[in-house]
Amino acid sequence: MAENLRNWVRKLDEITARGGTDGYAKVDLMPWCTYIAFDVIGALAFGVPFGMVEKGKDEFETQLPDGSVLLTKGAEILNRRGEVSSTLGWLPSLRPFARYLPDPCFSKGLASIQDLHGIAARAVSDRLAEMEKQEDNHLDILALLLKSKGPGGLPMQPDEITSEALTQLIAGSDTVSNTSCAIVYWILAGERDAPGTILPRLHQELDTAISSSAAIASYARVKSLPFLRRCVDEGMRLHSTSAIGLPRLVTAVSGVWFDEIHFPYGTVLSVPSYTVHHDAKIWGNDVGRFNPDRFLAKNLTSRQKMAFNPFSHGPRACVGQNVALMELSLIVATLFRRYDFVLEQKVLECTEGFSKKPVECWVRIKRRI
């Protein structure tokens, strides 16, 4: 991840170099959060970044069913896939007819699913070719998949490996990009609403932990920084990456009881994290304000601990949450250690499919160190 972060910082430095007389350059951070998140998951899952940071645009290769290759927009097709998947997840009876529905959301969304499969297929086919030439020396998730065994101890087939690789891509790209952008927004919004309460504390903590000669943060230096972690947690509380409650089926024959309400066997339930994270009965009357100190151990109630679920809970919780927290910590620490920001918009407008995606995040940025 370090090399991808260095490349990202180099590109952001180029943007700041074009600043005006006050040293600030205006930029939409959302695309740049997308580029770094995709490049990092490309390196972690497939051994090589997708090259979005270097190109400065949402573009990489996908393989079509006939084997041909074309350039496609990864973030865009993930958004379309999320929109159609969330709709069909709630209305599964529509699945057999989705391709025939007149709303382009369905036709474009289904096409995006095929495009995403092609991205993973391209990565898998490239690696299989390297293996045949005995040139595969990668240490990544795909390497583990290629060496893994399926039922009966047999090697996994290419289509199985592609499906698993696709899962890594979907789970680790736009979720991190959306959340990192939102956290930056909320930190700046918190400082704007209460000047002197957020950024001076964050800067002091980062300046103490990170060497003045370091261009990027290292996880060893920032993983235990308490105020940084509280900023990340409070940003995740306010944003809530998954915009919808994930459906769960009541499997107990006797059903379940909750707060004197009985839900019989077969009932579909969900707990939208956004709703829980914005419940004033749980978080207080300042529920809509960025306040990292609500996550201080002395302030956090047992009910708040239970209610805070950015990665869900239990056996179906996000398996990549530790990697995600590492990425978020490094991105946020690197940005606020190296740059000064001025927020240029009043609200963070978002679109909602499976994920909650910021439309844009305009800031003014200049080098701080």
Residue 253 tokens, joined: 């024959």
- Select from 13, 42, 22, 54 the least CA-distant residue to 335: 13
Residue 181 tokens, joined: 């952008």
Task: Report whether 33 belongs to an annotated binding site.
Answer: no
- Select from 223, 172, 187, 216 the least CA-distant residue to 37: 172
Does residue 321 sit in helix, strand or coil? Answer: helix
- Spacing of C-alpha 94 from chain mean position: 28
For 336, half-sphere exposure in the C-beta direction (CA atoms, 13 angstrom radius) is 31
Whole-angstrom distance, CA of residue 181 vs CA of residue 31: 9
Whole-angstrom distance, CA of residue 24 vs CA of residue 7: 20
Does residue 165 sit in helix, strand or coil? Answer: helix
Annotated binding residues, written as ranges, equal 318
Q: Which residues are annotated as a binding site for heme?
A: 318
